[in-house]
A and B are shown apart, each in its own frame.
Chain A
Amino acid sequence: GAVVSQHPSRVICKSGTSVKIECRSLDFQATTMFWYRQFPKQSLMLMATSNEGSKATYEQGVEKDKFLINHASLTLSTLTVTSAHPEDSSFYICSARPRRASGNTIYFGEGSWLTVV
C-alpha cells in the first residue's frame, strides 16, 4: 500500500538552531501534503497545507517565517523549524494525498518527535 515516510522520527536540537523534517511519499506522487503538530494529550492541529508548485497555506496563528514549508517535488515536502525554542517541542506529522487518488484518500507519516533543549 501507499507509504509516507517522515525523517527524522526523533530529533533533539539546541535552542536557537533550525531543524528540518522531511515528508516523502514513497510510491506515489502527492499533490497536497498537510503538516500537523500535536502536543501531549491534545489532538492534531493543522499547521499548513502544502500544494506542489505553490506556496503553503498556513492556518491562523501559525508563523510562516518560523515554520518554513517547502513542497519541493511531487514526492517531498519539508518543514523547517527556524530558531527553535523549547516551546516548539512537539510531535509533528505529515499526511499526503496521491495525485491520482479517487475521493479523499490520504496517507499519514509516522511523525517526528522534536525536543528543543
Chain B
Amino acid sequence: AQSVTQLDSQVPVFEEAPVELRCNYSSSVSVYLFWYVQYPNQGLQLLLKYLSGSTLVKGINGFEAEFNKSQTSFHLRKPSVHISDTAEYFCAVTTYSGGYQKVTFGTGTKLQVIP
C-alpha cells in the first residue's frame, strides 16, 4: 500500500517570506511525485513533478521541491511568497505495479499569504 502525508493542513505566512510545505510518502515500489495547486473553483494545476534524475525540481511560479529518498519526502518550497500564492496545495504519488497505475493524494495544505 502507498500513502501520502501532508503534515500541515494550513500554513499562514507573511508576504515575501519563505515557505515550505511538507510532504512525506510511503511506497514499496518506485514512485513518481507531483505537486499540484488548486485555486478556488478551479481544477488542479501542475506545479512540478519528479520522475527521475536530479532530485531538485523546479516548477512554475518560483516553486521548487526536493526529492529525498532516504527520508521519503518531497517538500515544496518557495523563497518569497506572493498574495497570489494563496491556494490549496496537494502532493501526489503515482506508482506502477503489475501493469496498473495507482495515484494517491495527500489531504492538502492551505497556504494563506498574509499582506
Question: Out of B32, B44, B108, which one reaches A41, CB within 8 Å?
Answer: B32
In the complex, residue of chain A having the shortest beta-carbon distance to the beta carbon of B48: A43
Known contacts A10-B100, A34-B43, A36-B44; A108 and B110 CB within 8 A of each other: no
Give the complex CA separation of A114 and B66 in angstroms. Answer: 32
Contact, CB under 8 Å: A105 / B108: yes
Contact code string B28-54 (vs A, CB < 8 Å = 1, else 0): 000010101011110110100101000
Question: Out of B101, B105, B108, B110, which one reaches A40, CB within 8 Å?
Answer: B101
Give the number of chain B interface residues (Cβ < 8 Å).
Answer: 24
Contact, CB under 8 Å: A104 / B40: yes
Chain A residues at the B interface, C-beta cutoff of 8 Å: 10, 32, 34, 36, 38, 40-41, 43-44, 46, 49, 59, 91, 93, 95, 103-106, 108, 110-111, 113
Contact, CB under 8 Å: B101 / A106: no
Contact, CB under 8 Å: A44 / B36: yes
The answer to the question of B17 belonging to the interface, with a C-beta cut-off of 8 Å to chain A, is no
Give the complex CA separation of A58 and B48 in angstroms. Answer: 23
In the complex, residue of chain A having the shortest beta-carbon distance to the beta carbon of B51: A41
Contact, CB under 8 Å: B105 / A43: no
A10 — which chain B residues lie within 8 A by C-beta? Answer: 100
| Shortest distance from the beta carbon of B8 to any chain A beta carbon, whole Å | 14
8 A-B pairs, CB-CB below 8 angstroms? Answer: A32-B41, A34-B43, A36-B43, A36-B44, A43-B34, A44-B92, A93-B103, A110-B103
Contact, CB under 8 Å: B34 / A46: no
Of A34, A43, A49, most buried by chain B (CB within 10 Å of CB) is A43
Of all A-B residue pairs in the complex, the 7 with the closest CB atoms, nearest first, are: A46-B43, A43-B46, A104-B88, A91-B101, A108-B105, A34-B43, A111-B103
Contact, CB under 8 Å: B103 / A38: yes
In the complex, residue of chain B having the shortest beta-carbon distance to the beta carbon of A9: B100
